[in-house]
Structure 1
Amino acid sequence: MKHVYPKYVTKSAIEGLVKKINLPSPDEFSQDWEYEVSDSSRLTEFICAYENFELNIDEKFALMIIIISSFNDAIVERKAEESSARRIRYHLLQDISIHKNTIYYWSMLDEDDLDNCHAVTSFMREIAYTAKLDGQDKS
């Protein structure tokens, strides 16, 4: 049986994270809630929540997207810390079965020009290469 990796943030994951991490609920106009609630000033808090809260697979998937988006913002703001990078890298590789599609998304393996990529793309490509992901086995 082929393993199916999460691809989308579910309503139940949003509801769980709103309660557990005190995130704002999506409003009627929300799209891509996981990007709307990202916040570089809360990055350490989000990583600690990932490490210490009891989260199901869908919540881990959604929270990691929030973490990476927040880390991307921290890079842009020149506030990214190596300790955060190490912890994020560890969790992405440790839970690769949950985060494979997220790694593909942020690493933008099909784009040759890094100027057309996210600030976090180089970091995510390093993780993709470490995990031996080549973009051919997307699920």
Structure 2
Amino acid sequence: MNFITKQAIESLSEKLRLPKLDPNYQDWEFEVADSRRVNELISFYESAVLDQDEKFALMSLIISSFDDAIREAREQHGTWDSIKKHLIRDMVLHKNTILYWSLLEEEFEDYICITPYMRQIIMN
């Protein structure tokens, strides 16, 4: 099972000029999520040379930021298709992330904004 490493947080924080947090903070991807930067983060995922830990952490940040964008009505056309493409292409790396956000054990009314999107991947 993958997890977000301290090294990946430090590297991505520097490369993307993200807010600096306590290095022991457990929910980095939620704290630095930014709904206004989703497409920028996707572009970085596509173009930067990243190791597996950085890719895993960055995708977690992208998903959290996209969830915020949906909630704030900032979702842009085509954004989900880009995210989904990378989740499927890198399925081995992101499988547990997809399962986490899919909330398969939860009732439909208990889901978070991105849950229906993630369930699309599971169902297909």
Runs of 4+ in 1 over 4 A off after TM superposition: none
* Larger Rg, first or second structure (1 or 2): 1
User: Percent identity over the alignment?
Assistant: 47
Tell whether the 8 Å contact from 2:36 to 2:74 is kept in structure 1 after alignment. no
SS in 2 for 1:44: helix
Q: Count the aligned residue pairs.
A: 124
Q: CA offset at residue 77 of structure 1?
A: 1.0
Tell whether the 8 Å contact from 2:42 to 2:82 is kept in structure 1 after alignment. yes
TM-score, length-scaled by structure 1: 0.84
Paired residue for 1:16, among 11, 14, 25? 11
Q: Which residue of 1 aligns with 2:122?
A: 128
Distance in 1, Cα, partners of 2:99 & 2:25: 24
SS in 2 for 1:13: helix
> Where do 5+ consecutive residues of structure 1 fail to align?
131-139
Paired residue for 1:35, among 30, 37, 41? 30
SS in 1 for 2:74: coil
Q: CA offset at residue 118 of structure 1?
A: 0.8
Structure with the bigger percentage of helix: 2
Q: Which residue of 1 aligns with 2:76?
A: 81
RMSD in angstroms over aligned alpha carbons?
1.4
Q: CA offset at residue 29 of structure 1?
A: 7.2
TM-score, length-scaled by structure 2: 0.93
